[in-house]
Amino acid sequence: RATLYVVATPIGNLRDISQRALDVLAGVDVVAAEDTRVSGQLLRHFGIQNSLLSLREHNERAMAERIIARLAAGESVAQISDAGTPGISDPGAVLAAAVHAAGYPVVPVPGASALTAAVSAAGFSCPHTLFYGFLPPKSKQRRDALAPLVVLPYLTVYYEAPHRIVDCLTDLAAVFGDARQVVMARELTKTFETIRRSTLGELLQWVQADSNQQRGEFVLVVDAAEPVENTDEAAHDAVLSPLVAELP
């Protein structure tokens, strides 16, 4: 019975909760939540009355010890974050590691995440994805963080806050180039959901021109780099030399 369940909750539309998530949240002895006010509302919406503990980034280590003590007493615990999947740019990794180390099972109850929702609708064929999460808040550090990603043959995915979206797109366009394809997924599953696919240069102009497009929550999915052509001269010579030798 002593198990930590890592439970995904909706990223906007409450109907995206799974039946299993509801069963687990109702059935465990205690729910560890980031903001107990936010999660209290969620549980009330589904008619679930359960006790809540507050587990945030700054107290995750101390809370992990308290949670392990409850597991040791035979209780089961669910962890949720304010929205989406715990451990994805949210607290959860420290708790899960401590529970693994203490020898109790860590069981995911999968569901919504802005990451998978955005990638699923982006329509890029590259089968590899690098999830970056939040970039540094300052432009210089942001460009430095982006520089090594430009040549990668992977989609790269970023989370961004509304007050930084224009600056972030400016830096993405500067570092990846205006022509790179991107999908902006804004307010996923909510009333003003917007999914826009274009080039970075065009997207930046479009977002700058409309302040409504600067509100809400954002995921940016940047397409992979084109495969680099083999420009190795030796490889060319190996093919061309025998052909040249055949010429009259």
Residues found near ligand SAM in the complex (CB under 6 A) = 11-12, 81, 83-85, 88-90, 113-115, 159-161, 185, 187-190, 217-219
Output 176 or 218, the one with its CB closest to ligand SAM: 218
Are the beta carbons of 184 and 121 closer than 8 angstroms? no
- What are 83's two structure tokens? 């929205």
Residue 9 backbone phi and psi in degrees, to 5: -120, 170
Question: Which CB atom, from 11 or from 28, has the smaller least distance to ligand SAM?
Answer: 11
**Smallest separation (angstroms) from ligand SAM to the CB of 86:** 7
The single-letter DSSP state of residue 177 is -
Which of 137/177 has CB closer to ligand SAM?
A: 137
Q: In this structure, are residues 50 and 7 in contact, taking their beta carbons and an 8 Å threshold?
A: no
**Residue closer to ligand SAM (CB basis): 5 or 159:** 159
Q: How far is the CB of 98 from ligand SAM (least distance, A)?
A: 19
Nearest distance from C-beta of residue 134 to ligand SAM, angstroms: 7
Cβ proximity to ligand SAM, 11 vs 64, nearer residue: 11
Cβ atoms of residues 184 and 207 within 8 Å:
yes
Residue number of the CB atom closest to ligand SAM: 84
- Rounded to whole angstroms, the Cα distance separating 112 from 115 reads 9
- Residue 38 CB, nearest distance to ligand SAM (Å)? 12
Query: Whose CA is closest to 82, among 18, 130, 35, 15?
Result: 35
Describe the chain by its helix, strand, coil percentages, rounded to 5: 45, 20, 35
CB of 114 to ligand SAM, least distance (A): 3
